[in-house]
Structures are given as C-alpha cells and as structure tokens.
Amino acid sequence: MISPYEFPLTPQPPEWGVVWDALAARFTWLRAMAGVPQEPAHHGEGDVFVHTRMVAETLAAMPAWRALPPDERSLLFAAALLHDVAKPACTRTELDGSITSRGHARAGATMTHALLWNGNGLATPPPFAWRDAVARLVRHHGLPLWFWDKDDPPRAVIAAIMVTRLDHLALLAEADARGRICTDQAGLLERIDLFRAFAHEQQCFATPRIFASDHSRFVYFQRHNPDPTYTAFDDTRCEVIIMAGLPGAGKDTWVRTHRADWPVVSLDAIRRELGIAPEDAQGAVVQTARERARVWLRQGTSFVWNATNITRAVRGQVLDLCAGYGARLHIVYLDAPRDLLLARNCARSHPVPETVIQRLIGKLEAPDLSEAHQVTWIDRA
C-alpha cells in the first residue's frame, strides 16, 4: 500500500483543468524543459516543455485516469510531469542531425528521487513509498512501447510488475503517445494495447506475478531461469542481510536493534580502520569488506553487510558474491526525510559531508523484489 500524498495542483473535478502556468512557476525542473529540442518526426509539437504540457493535459482528460482514486490520480499526474525530466541533460544532436535522448528514463528516475526528496517546489516532501512509485513510473514509461523489442519480453514485463503497476504504466504511456504530434501515433497506441494484452497473459497486469516461492522468484531473475512457473529447490545455507540507505537513515540503529548478535561487515568501520574518507576512492575498503564476508560465507554463518548500497549495480556485486556461497539474501532499505536525515548525520560521531549525501541521492535506485529473496523498506519519517 502506497502512502497517500496529494501532489500540488493535480487536476480536480469537476473542471479537471491543468493550471500549467502555476505549475511552471512552481517547479524549476519543469521550466528547464523549455527550449530542449526533440526529433521532429516523433515530436512535431515542439520542445520538451510543450510535449510535457500536452501529456499532462491529455492524461487529465482521459476517463480512465479520472476514474482512479484521488491518490492514484495524483501519483500518475506527477509521473506525467516528470517522465521526461532528464531530457535537458540527456538530449544530444547526432552527427546525422537527428536528436536523441538516450538514457533519459533511467536518469529521470534518479532525478525524480532527488527532486522529490529535496522538496523542490513542494511544501511537504512526499513519503518514500510515494516518491519511489513515481520514480518507477518514470523509469519504465517507455516499456509499453518497446517491450516487444526486448531480448526477453516476458521477463521485461514481469520485472516491471515487481516495481510498478502495469495498468498505471499503460495509462502513462498512452498519455505520452497521445500528447504529441507524430505520423505513427496509431502504431504507438497499438503497441500499448498489445502491452496490456501481453501483461494480462503473463498474469501481472495490476498485481505482481505469483511465484512458487521467494527462492523460485530469486532464481528466475538472478539465474535467468526461462520459466516463471518453475519451483526451485532451496539450497540456501545461511542468510545475509544487506543494508541500504543514505548516511543517517538509521542503518546502524536497525542492526543494533534487530541483529545485535550477528557478525557485521561495516564499510564505515573499515573506512575508519584504513583512514579513508567517504569522498575518497573506496577500492581498498570494498576489497577488505569482501575478504571479511568470505570468511563468514565459507562457514555458512549468517551476517550483516552494512553500507549505503544505493545503486542496483553496487548491491549486485554484494548479492552475487553472497549468492555464490548459497546465501539467502535479504535487503533492508531505510529512508528518511531530508531535514531529519541531515540532522541525524550531523549528530553522528563521524558525519558524512552533505555534498556526498547529495551526490548519493542523485544516484539512488531503491531495491526491489527482483534482486533478493526478501526486501524490507522502512521509512523513518
């Protein structure tokens, strides 16, 4: 259940009007889209600012969006405004004169987390679950158009339902397709209809795909098992808890409270032992941590890996190491509002520079159930 949150200026009945000038005045990231070009063949309407306005107004006019509960309408409206937020940073003019914005969906998801966490233009920043839901929609907003071009379309769709509702995603994609001027609009809408039908076939349109067990789900995603109905034999021999979250989110407190009797591999502690600052190169810290983890893994002893682990790639290195020794993997992610987290960080005996924290929130990819046997999300608000 996503915590309710009312995104400001979300269209309301009975008028359902988009107050665009007020939105643009409020959000600097929205104004930054003005003047950012798009490929005319796909976006004859003009720049990203114009396109985003058309998408927002299209969504607000859709009967399916208006029929949603207020909190879901607010969530999707925010995603519509933010879906191309990274295009100003990602847009390039290629040598042949074409305009591209490769990677803008992934970059937009991390930007969304940072913008909403910092509260840009918001009187009250949203709770983590709401913020993450918007970021996931931004990350996957192109999937309904391109899922069939993936190497493994079923896996792409099943992975997406682990992090976002595909019925919501399809609505956002439809607004994105209709909120533009292009010659292939009918083809885009046909792809979205195909996506809806395919997601139904995969039994994961509005609810997550059901697996035989958490280990079967883990094997499907991590060992590339082609069959989501396969029941995997559980050969795990210990549990590793991988902590994740920004400095000051409460990871150390959680470990002391819930796993005080477990061995801990702490990157912060290793940094202090080696005299390496958080903003310095971390290669020696990570190598020392991996060596200590292998000691517990060889013994089949459960332990905690305590670090920020705020990107999927960084977590993946730890998860792969531990899975190779037959560990059951549990990610515990902690989040906290900006002001509270910065205050906690300042009160620590070894505070992390705020510049480092801002750099980390700009990279944040919250964990999901395609990564581990279990994921626990804790909002310290």
Residue-wise pLDDT for 264-289, tens only, equals 999 989 999 999 887 788 899 999 99
| Whether residues 136 and 244 fall in one domain | no
| Whether residues 33 and 169 fall in one domain | yes
Residue 242 has φ and ψ, to the nearest 5°, of: -105, 110
| Whether residues 58 and 177 fall in one domain | yes
Q: Give domain status of residue 275, yes or no.
A: yes
Q: Residue 55 belongs to a domain with what CATH number?
A: 1.10.3210
Rg (CA), the chain: 22
> Distance between CA atoms of 166 and 136, rounded to whole angstroms?
11
Confidence of residue 1 (pLDDT cuts 50, 70, 90): low
Q: Residue 305 belongs to a domain with what CATH number?
A: 3.40.50.300
| Whether residues 163 and 278 fall in one domain | no
| Whether residues 76 and 172 fall in one domain | yes
Q: Please name which of 367, 324, 355, 336 lies closest in space to residue 235, comparing C-alpha atoms.
A: 324
Q: Is the pLDDT of residue 381 over 80?
A: no
Q: Give domain status of residue 307, yes or no.
A: yes
Q: Please name which of 128, 137, 132, 146 lies closest in space to residue 81, comparing C-alpha atoms.
A: 137
| Whether residues 307 and 177 fall in one domain | no
Q: Name the percent of the chain lying above pLDDT 90.
A: 90
244 has which bridge partners?
A: 333
Among the three residues 141, 175, 201, which one is the final residue of a domain in this structure? 201
Residue 278 is predicted with a pLDDT of 77
Q: Give domain status of residue 355, yes or no.
A: yes
| Whether residues 115 and 50 fall in one domain | yes
Q: Give domain status of residue 27, yes or no.
A: yes
Output the average pLDDT for the chain.
95
Residue 87 is predicted with a pLDDT of 98
Among the three residues 146, 177, 201, which one is the final residue of a domain in this structure? 201
Q: Give domain status of residue 7, yes or no.
A: no
> Distance between CA atoms of 250 and 343, rounded to whole angstroms?
12
Q: Give domain status of residue 270, yes or no.
A: yes
| Whether residues 189 and 263 fall in one domain | no
| Whether residues 86 and 154 fall in one domain | yes
Asked if residues 14 and 66 have their Cβ atoms less than 8 Å apart, the reply is no
**pLDDT tens track for 311-348:** 999 999 999 999 999 999 999 999 999 999 999 999 88
| Whether residues 197 and 242 fall in one domain | no
Dihedral, CA of residue 289, residue 291, residue 292 and residue 298, to nearest 10? 140
Alpha helix positions (H), the chain? 20-26, 28-31, 48-61, 63-66, 70-82, 87-90, 104-118, 128-139, 143-146, 153-161, 166-178, 185-201, 214-222, 251-258, 267-274, 283-299, 312-323, 338-347, 354-361
Amino acid (1-letter code) at residue 358: Q
Q: Which domain holds residue 342?
A: 238-379
> How many domains, in total, are found in the chain?
2
Where does residue 20 rank: exposed (0-12), middle (13-18), buried (19+ CB within 10 A)? middle
| Whether residues 157 and 290 fall in one domain | no
What SS3 class is residue 175? helix
| Whether residues 280 and 153 fall in one domain | no
Mean pLDDT of 127-150: 96
Mean pLDDT of 201-212: 90
